[in-house]
């Protein structure tokens, strides 16, 4: 994690899982948090680069930050 990452309320590591499992697990995790909280998802699935932005847009969440570090993609998703 970077020092300037948003504060996350829940971290979900879906490394090693392939599409569509990371998004399915993220949806379940988003159901566990409340409005205004942030989910931090870690994934090593390259397909997640297109899946997570589409998921966030479809569900009307907000993607606060995304980046890749050493093969791990980080997604910070705000539940509005």
Q: Which of 5, 10, 13, 19 is catalytic?
A: 19
Residues near 17 by Cβ (< 8 Å), separated by ≥ 6?
A: 25, 43, 45
Q: 38: which strand partners?
A: 78
The reply to whether 49 belongs to the active site is no
3-state secondary structure of 78: strand
Catalytic residues: 19
């Amino acid at each position: 994690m970077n020092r300037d990452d948003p504060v996350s309320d829940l971290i979900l590591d879906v490394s090693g899982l392939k599409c569509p499992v990371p998004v399915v697990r993220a949806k379940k995790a988003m159901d566990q948090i409340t409005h205004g909280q942030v989910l931090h998802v870690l994934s090593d699935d390259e397909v997640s680069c297109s899946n997570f932005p589409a998921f966030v847009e479809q569900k009307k969440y907000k993607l606060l930050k995304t980046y890749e570090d050493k093969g791990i993609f980080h997604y910070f998703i705000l539940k509005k």
